[in-house]
Structure 1
Amino acid sequence: MTTTPMAPLVPSFVQNSWWTPSDPDGGTSVLDANTGEPLATVNSDGLDLAAVVEYGRTVGQRELGKLSLHERALKLKELAQFLNERREELYEISYRTGATKIDSMVDIDGGIGVLFTFSSKGRRELPNSNVILDGPMEVLSRDGSFAGEHIYTRIPGVAAQINAFNFPVWGMLEKFAPAFIAGVPTIAKPATPTGYVAEAMVRLMVESGILPAGSIQLISGSARTLLDVLDYRDMLSFTGSASTASALKSHKNVIDGGVRFTAETDSLNAAILGPDAVTGTPEFEAFVKAVTTEMTSKAGQKCTAIRRNIVPAALVDDVVKAVGERLDARVVIGDPRAEGVTMGALASLEQLRDVRGAVEEMIAAGGEIAYGTLDAPVVRTMGGEEKTVDAGAFMSPLILTWDDVENQAVHSREAFGPVSSVIGYTDLDDAIHLAAMGAGSLVATVCTNDADTARILTTGIASHHGRVHMLNRETARSSTGHGSPVPHLVHGGPGRAGGGEELGGIRSVKHHMQRTAIQGSPNMLTAVTGVWHTGADRVIAGDPEFGAVAGAIHPFRKSLAELKIGDAYASPLRKVSLEEITAFANETGDTFYAHTDRAAAEANPFFPGIVAHGYLLVSWAAGLFVQPAPGPVLANYGLENLRFITPVPDGDSIRVTLTAKKITPRVTDEYGEVAWDAVINNQDGEIVATYDVLTLVEKEDTTYANWGK
């Protein structure tokens, strides 16, 4: 008797090693989406999920905690560079899911691009520490001895991430990247039909040797009891169907146990064509291109795909015709490994049955097929033949039209494949109403070149959508597209779309952190945050009349190795003369009357007469604190939070006090950034101006150590 050899098991990666069940029998068989051939078996029977979670909470938390936010962000860049060199082998695996080369680039290159983006934003926008400040200090006592503020610190558990089948790489990395920067270990659970692609990516991540132990674990197979072992320390991020999300959301550990839960689910995304975007306009052309792209990219298996095209009623036939002609001209269905194929198979035969079943329900409810067929399409095989095949999960693109544009089926039933509907609206209010009938979506496109139309539609639908993509002739070439979430912006949506948020730059890092109000003295707040707070202790050099310590060194003469938070400098007083104010006005051309016309200035309720320019005061302040000799301060690269508070008339004097507020060493450079709290006072101690001075300072004072010797 001949037996068919079992397809290889897709292993899990848990507790820093690869794992497969002791009993190889059983599990779920995974097929090549294009040929129906067995590819792999997925089985997690016997996997100790409690031990997996505990490993993340202990080893993963400990090892990630040894690194700062910047150090973790830098590791993402190193990982992205490593993976960039191994993309081709991932493409070869991805073809088996029905993804074309372009589809695979969106998934694989897009996922790697997320790592690059988060690495850059993490190092640019976050402190080189593990505490993030949220907002300014709030003084809670009259004498300033008691204050409060908010901080973010990482949650103490794991980030369990259940991902969808359509983007096995991007979907995993867009969740992993912000969790990793936050310092929270990931437990990834990919969807079974394409989990072998996610496993290949995790294998490369492990082989790189870049990630600390426990950073990522992978569950290949069922994880139905995962929520049973999570608690308030952990979070669960889910991408998939609304029904599954609802079941997870109702779990006792979410309702009563405090597990953080976020979901991205079904979405009946819309594209609205403005009344001005008639046939022949650049906007009409851009709209048709966007619709066909979203129908065929990943064979329409995108949570952001356009499902409802809301167009002026008079243009319904024109849109259907134009989209159909573009599909005819550009779509070749078949095995992605065959020459010339532009749209591959759906991810599985089960998915094909689900999509066809959804379309049949929509037709029964009143939809009509205006383009395409439910019959098996002619496809191009690997050998280059054009024929109908039984094994692959291939489907023709379909356009549906509706006599009743408010039919619930078009606004509530999603066919998760190359299927889109065209419905007509009467006016802008009607278009907004139809878009809102989706009951919450991830994204909508507004296609118009009329500013008023763009404003009315965008503000009208914004509260129903996580993202609104405005498309016109100005962005037709540069836009990343309707269906392409970018890591800089929030990805998620209200209502039916799940009510969660993913990506969004540093916002998504903070999703993996706890915001906590802390209260105490300025010294204690400084100790916890690593940022100097007004009223905290400092060591002042400079003018003894302002509390300077004898022998204290000017902080600009200190490298990062020597500089401490609270190191400060108080300058002597500098008198302001009318001649200098007039000269500055004439030299710069800033002859605003408050600086040049005494009578007009005195008539102004804000000024006592002619006053010094604010920028003149800031320039004088720089002259009062700078040190002329080179190093260790390398450059001043800007000011932040500048406020002018008290006018300075001629005859007054000013002094500046500079305090090292925040020190941020750069991981990859021999220098770091220092933010200095700067306060200009007049001779009576009144505050004239406040701002932060930003400088680049050497880690070690070596470059100019022998200058002048």
Structure 2
Amino acid sequence: MTELLPNYAAGRWQHGTGPGTALRDPVLGTALVRVDAAGLDLAEAFAFARDTGGAALRAATYRERAAMLMAVVKVLQSHRDSYYEIATANAGTVKNDSAVDIDGAIFTLGQYARWGDALGDVRALRDGGAVKLGKETVFQSQHLQVPRQGVALFINAFNFPAWGLWEKAAPALLSGMPVIVKPATATAWLTQRMVQDVVDAGVLPVGALSVIAGSSAGLMDQLQPFDVVSFTGSAETAGVIRGHPAVAQRSVRANIEADSLNSALLLPGEAPGSEAFHLLVREVVREMTVKSGQKCTAIRRILVPAEVYDAAAEAIGAKLAGITVGNPRNDSVRMGSLVSRAQLASAREGLATLLAHATVLYDGRNQPLVDADPAVAACMGPVLLGARDADAAQPVHDVEVFGPVATLLPYRDSAHAIALAQRGQGSLVTSLYGNDEAALAHTALAVAASHGRVHVVTPDVAQAHSGHGNVMPMSQHGGPGRAGGGAELGGLRALDFYHQRSAVQASPAVLAALGVPDLA
């Protein structure tokens, strides 16, 4: 029988008491390890994190906690090769896709360590300047940000087992909040191993970081008023979390990242063969195939002027034809597998829904797999769909296929293009492609209210831009409406979720004695 991975809770490693769930290689189908959380004393785990881990973190200054983050960076860097091996085996990703997850996580941690060091040796942050409360200056109000005295529960998605943990844990730990992470079962091995390496290295206070790899049953029940929960996953599960008594009655702070039908928009006037046209095609193919399209920020809808629809279909299809799919251990493979056969079935089901309202422009489903058995491997070649009547094809604006699938949609004019982008009912990101700075700026402002991030690509940034789907810690990650209404990262803005804002009303002398810096 395969190894049963231990959970780390209440300051000690613990095995679940059940048989566990096997994690499998999505290409070879072999069982790798098992995870189980049955029988854990969750009340003890949460209380220990709050009382022991939280107290130790809050006793440190921001600069001292930043040093802890940098120590975590060094631990992860020292084990980096083993993380790549786990990602290949458990997530079916090629090396470049594993880097997005693993190296992206390490980069984000390092960035927050540097930002935190600049905050200095203080334990609270000033939020804005003091303002007088009357005609005289003798009595003023000063807003502060102080660490919340609770625990941060992360319920994470399967697609980013490394980055999904650390992009949330970095600002939480820097803020002084202990973390309990519940990774998605299918790819929990990498998250569990990273936590194990950090715990064994002793670079964080005991109780500051815990992992529960198994069922999420009972976790929400443990949340108390000063705790926070951050969830990444389906809109259906997000609804359950929002309706849970912890959130609905105890006012636990909740951050949600859910479904997102992101778009890429080629501005009017960009003819086939133009640089902007080429940049759109390149980015669409990249976003369809990186991590086999299993990214919450991936391009799902491609909006182009009606007159270039056929040329765009041909150009995107030609590049997709060069994508080899199969076993990521083979160096010739460009795209690995989905994370499981269950996820493959889900992607196929979503694709079938879209096919009732769209036509296939490029079909990679029947191409031969490299070193992989199609009866076993969770592999799926990229599929480009098209709908000439973008208004009538409602499901393409409603259904997110979490795999290598995108739909090409023509628009009549700028107003129509903006309206189609907004049909996503709230998205994480849209990207704009063109040369006209004024038109790009106008469009960016028009779509900003329905998107968490607007990524503008012009020929002069062709080699410099960070990518439509690449989430950088300097920019906000999140989006309104369907995307969940949450917000992560965005530099030090991320700390706000883990702090309590409080107004201290006092004399200038007392306010000066607080001795806290601005939250820049």
Once the two structures are superposed, residues 318-361 of structure 1 have per-residue CA deviations (whole angstroms, 9 ceiling, x without a partner) of: 111111111222x1111111121110000000000000000001
Cα distance, 1:231 vs structure 2: 1.7
TM-score for both structures, normalised by structure 1 = 0.71
State whether structure 2 residue 511 is matched by structure 1 residue 519.
Answer: no
SS in 2 for 1:337: coil
For the Cα contact (< 8 Å) 2:17–2:37, is it kept in 1? no
Report how far residue 308 of structure 1 moved. 0.1
In 1, Cα distance between the equivalents of 2:373 and 2:360?
A: 21
- Paired residue for 1:344? 336
**Is the partner of 1:483 in helix, strand or coil?**
coil
Structure 1 counterpart SS, 2:22:
strand
- 1:275 lines up with 2:261 in the alignment: no
Is 1:17 aligned to 2:12, yes or no? yes
- The equivalent of 2:403 in structure 1 is 417
CA contact (8 A) 1:378 1:388 kept: no
1:215 Cα shift?
1.2
Matches of 1:318 and 1:142 in 2, distance apart?
A: 68
- 1:179 aligns with 172
Residue aligning to 1:119: 113
SS at match of 1:136: coil
| Greater relative CO (CA pairs within 8 A, separation 6+) | 2
Gaps of 5+ in 1: 1-5, 382-386, 532-661, 664-709
- Counterparts of 2:46 and 2:75 in 1: how far apart (Å)? 27
Match of 1:594 in 2: none
Question: Alignment partner of 2:321: what SS?
Answer: helix
More strand by share: 1
Number of the residue aligned with 1:259: 252
Between structure 1 and structure 2, the one with the greater Rg is 1
Q: How many residues get paired?
A: 517
Find the counterpart in structure 1 of residue 54 from structure 2: 61
Q: Deviations over 1:475-512 (max 9, x none)?
A: 11111100001001110000000000011111101210
Which of 389, 392, 410 aligns to 2:374? It is 389
- Pick closer, same or farther for the CA change 1:163–1:291 going to 2, 3 Å: same
- Note the C-alpha offset of 1:204: 1.5
- Quote the residue 2:81 is aligned against: 88
1:379 equivalenced with 2:374 (yes/no) = no
- Which of 22, 25, 39 aligns to 1:29? It is 22
Q: Residue by residue, what CA displacement relative to the aligned partner does 1:499-532 show, whole Å, maximum 9, x if unpaired?
A: 00011111101210000011112222233x215x
Report what 2:412 is aligned to: 426
What is the DSSP-based 3-state SS (H/G/I as helix, E as strand, rest coil) of the residue aligned with 1:459?
Answer: helix
Q: Which residue of 2 is the match for residue 624 of structure 1?
A: none
1:158 aligned to which of 148, 151, 156: 151
- Is 2:351 aligned against 1:359? yes
CA displacement at 1:388 relative to structure 2: 4.6
1:17 positional shift: 1.7
Q: CA deviation at 1:81?
A: 2.3
For residue 139 of structure 1, the aligned residue among 125, 132, 143 is 132
CA apart distance, 1:274: 1.1
Is the Cα contact below 8 Å between 1:76 and 1:177 reproduced in 2?
yes
Equivalent position SS for 1:62:
helix
Q: Which residue identity lines up with residue 229 of structure 1 in the other structure? A: Q
1:401 aligns with 2:386: yes
> Counterparts of 1:408 and 1:22 in 2: how far apart (Å)?
47
Does structure 2 conserve the Cα–Cα contact (< 8 Å) formed by 1:358 and 1:414?
yes
* Cα deviation, residue 145, structure 1: 2.5
Q: Residue 336 of structure 1 aligns to which amino acid in structure 2? A: P
Runs of 4+ in 1 over 3 A off after TM superposition: none
In 1: Cα distance, 2:199 partner to 2:352 partner = 45
Structure 2 distance, partners of 1:354, 1:61, is 39
The share of aligned pairs that are identical, in percent, is 39
Aligned partner letter, 1:346: L
Query: Are 2:93 and 1:99 equivalent residues in the alignment?
Result: yes
Alignment check: 8 A CA contact 1:114 1:173 kept: yes
Q: Which amino acid aligns with 2:455?
A: H
Output the CA distance in 1 between the equivalents of 2:342 and 2:253: 31
Question: What amino acid does structure 2 have at the position aligned with 1:390?
Answer: A
1:278-331: per-residue Cα shift (whole Å, max 9, x none)?
Answer: 2111111111110000000000000000000000011111111111111222x1
Q: Give runs of aligned pairs for residues 483-494 of structure 1, distance below 5 A.
A: 483-494=469-480
SS of residue paired to 1:217: strand
Paired residue type of 2:104 = G
Equivalent pair of 1:79/1:210 in contact (CA under 8 Å): yes
Q: Distance in 1 between matches of 2:135 and 2:398?
A: 57
How far apart are the structure 2 equivalents of 1:231 and 1:18? 24
1:142 Cα shift? 4.2
CA contact (8 A) 1:379 1:388 kept: yes
| Distance across 2 between alignment mates of 1:404 and 1:8 | 53
Tell whether the 8 Å contact from 1:276 to 1:449 is kept in structure 2 after alignment: no
Find the aligned partners of 1:308 and 1:142 in 2 and give their Cα distance: 56
Mapped partners of 2:60, 2:247: distance in 1: 30
Is the contact between residue 389 and residue 410 of structure 2 (CA under 8 Å) also seen in structure 1?
Answer: no
| SS of match in other structure, 1:423 | strand
Partner AA of 1:120 in structure 2: R
1:143 is displaced (CA, Å) by 4.3
Gaps of 5+ in 2: none
Structure 1 residue corresponding to 2:33, chosen from 29, 40, 49? 40
Distance in 2 separating the partners of 1:236 and 1:253: 10
Residues 49-72 of structure 1 show CA distances to partners (whole Å, capped at 9, x for unaligned) of: 111110111001111122101110
Q: Counterparts of 2:23 and 2:74 in 1: how far apart (Å)?
A: 31
C-alpha contact 2:162 2:190 (8 A) present in aligned 1: yes
